[in-house]
Structure 1
């Protein structure tokens, strides 16, 4: 009986009735499967670009103030003069009125904020203007010594220094101007 089954199988195989089924191997998903699963290539590309683009870190006003940044005024003071800016620096103790009549950089004593490059340039301009004023005063009154002119100018100027401004006393110590 076993031989008969084998003979039948051999006869069928030689006659061509028996053939292997056609198998198609697909290594990619079909278009329908790709649509169903979704393509994230565009999203991944946008995410990669966003990761490479630097953006500012959001800080609250309190966090900025804790880091030493002065609080932003509610209204912009566009009409501030150089004298107003110097008075503000004197009040914050970032700059002091030296006993020689010149402004002195005292940023180590600065209470709020910091001294910017614009502030340093302003102090240099004010000091240069004062030196030029003293030279002119010397030409007007040549009989008076430069030291005496500076001292008399500094005494008069000290009266106009803003209250609470940082000033150097005769003994070289720094303190706030009392009003």
Structure 2
């Protein structure tokens, strides 16, 4: 029994030295957990910056044409003459051959883009050149009236107008030239 008492006494003595470990609750992740989960701070900042910087919206050439903007040509129009440009405007119905022999700007019927300031200036130059031509023709044949000179010239010129070009008929309506 003595042994038993000694054991009991030893157990009680050691019980005072043995305690349960202190438990600490932490509301943050440990350093190892933070490393494992990764940090997205840099990615979040780049995403926020990208959202603040507006960038252009890519449009196809067809969408640009629908908006009335002609895309820049891939090849420069170095070899185009003024007559080629007028033919293009006639084909697009931006300009029409009037029955009086002058070019008429017909913007409302214009297809595939708009007329630029250069196009308007070209039409004015062509009309001025035609007026000068008719004036010169009158000096060569002074006995012919101006109206007759214009009509004669216009009939001959109408044959050379590009197929599909916008022309005014004798009754004042506009339509494409049939070939």
Residue 85 of structure 2 corresponds to which residue in structure 1? 85
Look up the match of 1:103. 103
Larger Rg: 1 or 2? 2
Maintained 8 Å contact 2:66/2:113: no
Match of 2:41 in 1: none
Aligned-residue CA RMSD (Å): 2.5
Shift of 1:147: 0.4
Q: Alpha-carbon deviation of 1:56?
A: 5.4
- Match for residue 117 of structure 2? 117
Deviation of 1:63 after TM superposition, in Å, equals 2.2
Per-residue deviation, 1:72: 4.4
TM alignment of 1:145-156, pairs within 5 A: 145-156=145-156
Partner of 1:172: 172
Range that drifts further, 56-65 or 92-101:
56-65
Q: Which blocks of at least 5 consecutive residues in structure 1 are unaligned?
A: 1-42
Aligned equivalents of 1:140 and 1:57: distance in 2? Answer: 60
1:19-30, aligned counterparts within 5 Å?
none
- 2:56 and 2:172 map into 1 onto residues whose CA distance is 44
**What are the residue-to-residue correspondences of 1:22-41 with 2, within 5 Å?**
none
Give the Å deviation of 1:78: 1.1
Structure 1 segment 120-135 matched on structure 2, within 5 A: 120-135=120-135
CA contact (8 A) 2:100 2:151 kept: yes
Q: Secondary structure at the match of 2:142?
A: coil
1:113 counterpart SS class? coil
Q: In the TM superposition, what is the alpha-carbon distance from 1:55 to its structure 2 partner?
A: 7.2
Q: Does 1:140 align with 2:140?
A: yes
